[in-house]
């Protein structure tokens, strides 16, 4: 999820919303892209060292927050098509919110729903202004319980972290390779598709409906997809929910065919990004 998504609704129509897609460069750059310059100033740490590093190397005021589980904090690096990125992982939602506030130069954490456990951030704290950081909380993906996935809690947490990490890397890849990223249903389908493949080996449409809070054949939403539709006029949102529900099966079929040809991540990402939800509906005869 991109931090830029927390803004006032614009009340656009469902028709306009569903037309969003990305222009794919005719000539792809050499991948993975070179790391952005700020990456060199980060290093891997664990536990208490995370706060020591942020305090000593970047002069961030870490002592001003009520940390719950310092020993579980760690910094690592994610390898993506867009280059490496520092990843800060937490294991409690209060620590996740505190870390987001710290990196953005705020003194108090902001409230986020329990379904929000990841950000692709462009930090605002002065010493690290405009660094790109992945902030991940170790929690069930989309706040879905393990039993709903038919998995043990430990297995689901491991898969959730893998899915969440690949999801956020996908957002960074669209930003650096395609020139943008949005808190939009299409971007979330792209990122979750690659995340599902990383965590489960394939994309499953019904599993995605659970993550989004959709019921097949319905135009209602009880989960996180509603967050990505805040720009859409409230009375128009059921049209978006119905459209997303309809295209998920087509996306699954498309990805299965690409995987059968041993397509790499760049081909999968490009295939998903180049076609809007509206165009996919038209291809289905909608």
CB 18 within 8 A of CB 277: yes
DSSP string, 25-43: PSSPPPSSPPPPGGGGG--
- Which one, of 257, 243, 181, 233, lies nearest residue 212 by Cα? 243
Cα-Cα-Cα-Cα torsion 228, 230, 233, 234, nearest 10 degrees, comes to: 90
Cα Rg, the chain, nearest whole Å: 19
- Name the β-bridge partners of 137: 90
**Model confidence band, residue 283 (pLDDT cutoffs 50, 70, 90):** confident
The two beta strands, 118-122 and 85-90, are: unpaired
Distance CA 87, CA 96 (A): 12
Angle, alpha carbons 56-62-66 (nearest 5°): 155
Distance CA 262, CA 116 (A): 32
Q: Which ranges in the chain belong to alpha helices (H)?
A: 14-17, 48-58, 93-103, 146-149, 153-178, 185-200, 205-212, 237-260, 265-273, 277-283
Identify the pLDDT of residue 113. 83
Calculate mean pLDDT across residues 37-60: 96
Structure tokens at 55: 């305090």
Q: What residue spans define the domains of the chain? A: 16-283
Please write the tens of the pLDDT for every residue from 62-83.
Answer: 999 999 999 999 999 999 999 9
3-state secondary structure of 133: strand
Distance CA 170, CA 172 (A): 5
3-state secondary structure of 238: helix
Please write the tens of the pLDDT for every residue from 114-166.
Answer: 888 999 999 999 999 999 999 999 999 999 999 999 999 999 999 999 999 99
Identify the pLDDT of residue 9. 56
CB 186 within 8 A of CB 167: no
Distance CA 163, CA 110 (A): 24
Calculate mean pLDDT across residues 264-280: 97
- Which one, of 142, 151, 107, lies nearest residue 125 by Cα? 107
Distance CA 181, CA 172 (A): 7
Structure tokens at 182: 């949005």
What's the predicted TM-score (pTM) here?
A: 0.94
Sorted by sequence, the CB contacts under 8 Å of residue 245 that are 6+ apart come out as: 209, 214, 215, 216, 217, 218, 219
Residue with tokens 């037309």: 19
Mean per-residue pLDDT over the chain, rounded: 94
């Amino acid at each position: 999820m991109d931090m830029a998504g927390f803004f006032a609704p614009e009340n656009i129509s469902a028709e306009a919303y569903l037309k969003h897609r990305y222009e794919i460069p005719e000539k792809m750059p050499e991948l993975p892209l070179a790391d952005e310059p700020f990456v060199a100033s980060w290093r891997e740490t664990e536990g208490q060292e995370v706060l020591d590093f942020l305090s000593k190397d970047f002069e961030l005021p870490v002592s001003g927050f009520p940390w719950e589980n310092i020993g579980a904090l760690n910094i690592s690096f994610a390898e993506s098509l867009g280059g490496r990125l520092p990843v800060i992982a937490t294991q409690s939602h209060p620590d996740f919110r505190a870390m987001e506030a710290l990196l953005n130069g705020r003194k108090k954490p902001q409230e986020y729903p329990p379904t929000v456990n990841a950000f692709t951030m462009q930090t605002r704290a002065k010493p690290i202004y405009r660094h790109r950081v992945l902030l991940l909380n170790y929690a069930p993906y989309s706040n879905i319980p393990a039993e709903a996935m038919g998995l043990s809690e430990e297995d689901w947490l491991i898969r959730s972290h893998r899915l969440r990490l690949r999801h956020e890397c996908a957002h960074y890849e669209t930003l650096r390779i395609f020139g943008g990223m949005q808190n939009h249903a299409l971007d979330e389908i792209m990122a979750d598709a690659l995340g599902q493949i990383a965590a489960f080996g394939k994309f499953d449409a019904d599993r995605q409906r659970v993550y989004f809070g959709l019921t097949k054949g319905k135009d209602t939403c009880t989960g996180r997809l509603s967050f990505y539709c805040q720009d859409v006029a409230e009375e128009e949102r059921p049209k978006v929910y119905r459209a997303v529900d309809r295209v998920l099966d087509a996306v699954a079929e498309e990805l299965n065919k690409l995987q059968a040809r041993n397509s790499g991540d760049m081909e999968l990402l490009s295939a998903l990004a180049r076609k809007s939800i509206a165009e996919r509906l038209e291809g289905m005869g909608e």
